[in-house]
Structure 1
């Protein structure tokens, strides 16, 4: 019997003990036993080592539970001497959920305050974008991934720091005609964060805290949590083996015009409290518009409530209802501004009309019914990267689990 299979059985058998152990917060609630079964099965299949699942109905939490281990393996995939049990207090690397809970929220706030016109050219806010190739790109096209900017590029090979990001992005060829098609782009959201800083004169994280997070009362939604002394952190990847493969192996699906050996600062240790994404960490100092945010499921629920029920308990909502409608209205490609809405993008087919959400590379996702009367939300945070890559260099695929979770949470509501 392989060590990994033996370990899987051990994790499965110990999960009940873990979820009831002394270091678990007393506020855990479990009204969805079927959800427990889905997570237990995923643990036994080595899809991740730790998870937190939160389900809410009509604004009330009906299931909030932690599973497995926040840190189980070292960089050699050996079990660490004292595995760290996951709690609902643990912060997860949100990966591309940053695109929603940081960047999209920032632009919803800017729109509410009359400081941004989504249909204005980017060059109105970043004059360097006034080039023959880029001058027609609009803010809206960045938000809905139709800008034509490349989906991804290892900017850390070319940018000496965050001050060089725009210059290096502008030096790259477009992958398509702006506005013509949806091509999911990390680079577009890197640009959006730079726009926000240009408009506000503040660092991106400072603006988010001042305008959004502090008004909601968030305490655990941050960039660079280690710098803030936070300790309840979930481990993700062991270095960046997937991203390195993207650079070194052209047959892996990414054609990158760099000499792979011209940059050698790859991380080789287990990442905990450092954003996994290479561009966010190496090129942007841990804070970017596409990745870098850390948070808990409970904080994310509070953020979602500010959109789904913006006037609840407040005479001063974070966003105007007109702004919320505009950002969550599906476009010709079936998605909103910053929000994923098209079922395949959400890894779910059983969804209420107008459902919003997003997925993240580290193993995070959420889906929310925007109907404030009876709407449901589920937030699933996992550390799928922590189990390592398989022989093909891939991390575990969570699509089936996400589809089952959406069916469980929303299926009855749709019948």
Structure 2
């Protein structure tokens, strides 16, 4: 498989218990690097699955209830029936919240922006339709902090340690980070979150912002595959791990489990698998049937987000999960 011009990528897959690491890199900026499997990618929305596992850990501990309205702890959204939004609806993108908070374009930042995003008007009634929502996962991160009294990065750090994601971080060293986009107002983004909304929030958020290696994402995939077991022991109960694999809500062209997409042909092809993608080009998928999994970290936004359409590459890479 060849990387697209001006891209950097790494992949890891497991088939029949055999792990293979493939790395290459040809960044297009003025200071190219030779990519290794220790480089940190901006994981973008794969962050949502680390947030999901962290939320389910609190469910297992009894600190959260999947089906209790979150409004008593964190009012989310505005509009008809907003008070009925539950953690399950946030995790399955059926809360009615909008897909993305565009308020960062107004110049709002930090706490002011966070309050505006959390108060976003619902576009549909909770439970009515599936709508992929960054706003919903920002709300989940805030909910976890309020329930636990701890910062999101601390909570996710504990999850990472249990999983065995040893390099996972919100604040990477620039020299280990793979550069993402050259943006008009930020220049070459390297070692800082690419997602504009996450950057404007100015602290860890549940929808994007984590950096990790191919091994970190592989460790997450194994928790999904191994019924909630991680490198450091049990991460999730079997019941919670099952929620990651089983469809909970229908969507357009695929089904949605808690956190993960199920049989999403747009990037999984024919694979009977669960997984997730990230805007920067990241993706992982797991076949519950065979136990195989794959991790593909592409840098599709380098030097700009118009650089490459990686859908075909993803489908080709994850084809082995359909075998």
User: Same fold, TM exceeding 0.5?
Assistant: yes
1:396 matched to 2:316? The reply is: no
CA distance in 2, matches of 1:195, 1:363: 28
| Higher-helix-fraction structure | 1
Provide the residue aligned with 2:178 in structure 1: 234
Q: CA RMSD in A?
A: 2.3
Q: 1:365 to 1:312 in 2, by over 3 A?
A: closer
Residue 118 of structure 2 contacts residue 139 of structure 2 at CA under 8 Å; is this kept in 1?
Answer: no
Residue 151 of structure 1 contacts residue 184 of structure 1 at CA under 8 Å; is this kept in 2?
Answer: yes
CA distance in 2, matches of 1:110, 1:157: 33
CA distance in 2, matches of 1:311, 1:123: 29
Q: 1:327 to 1:410 in 2, by over 3 A?
A: closer
Residue 92 of structure 2 contacts residue 249 of structure 2 at CA under 8 Å; is this kept in 1?
Answer: no
Provide the residue aligned with 1:304 in structure 2: 221
CA distance in 1, matches of 2:307, 2:129: 28
Q: SS where residue 234 of structure 2 aligns?
A: coil
* Number of residue pairs aligned between Structure 1 and Structure 2: 319
2:127 corresponds, among 179, 182, 206, to 179
Provide the residue aligned with 1:91 in structure 2: 40
Provide the residue aligned with 2:28 in structure 1: 72
Q: 1:218 to 1:359 in 2, by over 3 A?
A: closer
Q: Deviations 1:176-208 (Å, cap 9, x if unpaired)?
A: 221111111110110000001011111101011
Residue 40 of structure 2 contacts residue 213 of structure 2 at CA under 8 Å; is this kept in 1?
Answer: yes
Q: Which runs of 5+ in 2 are unaligned?
A: none
Residue 67 of structure 2 contacts residue 88 of structure 2 at CA under 8 Å; is this kept in 1?
Answer: yes
- 1:315: how far off? 8.8
TM-score (ref. length: structure 1): 0.71
Residue 122 of structure 1 contacts residue 135 of structure 1 at CA under 8 Å; is this kept in 2?
Answer: yes
Q: Which runs of 5+ in 1 are unaligned?
A: 1-37, 74-79, 241-265
CA distance in 2, matches of 1:113, 1:155: 35
Question: Which runs of structure 1 show a deviation greater than 3 angstroms over 4 or more consecutive aligned residues?
Answer: 127-133, 157-162, 310-316
TM-score (ref. length: structure 2): 0.90
Q: Which has the larger radius of gyration?
A: 1
- 1:304: how far off? 1.9
- 1:311: how far off? 7.0
Q: SS where residue 207 of structure 1 aligns?
A: helix
Q: SS where residue 410 of structure 1 aligns?
A: helix
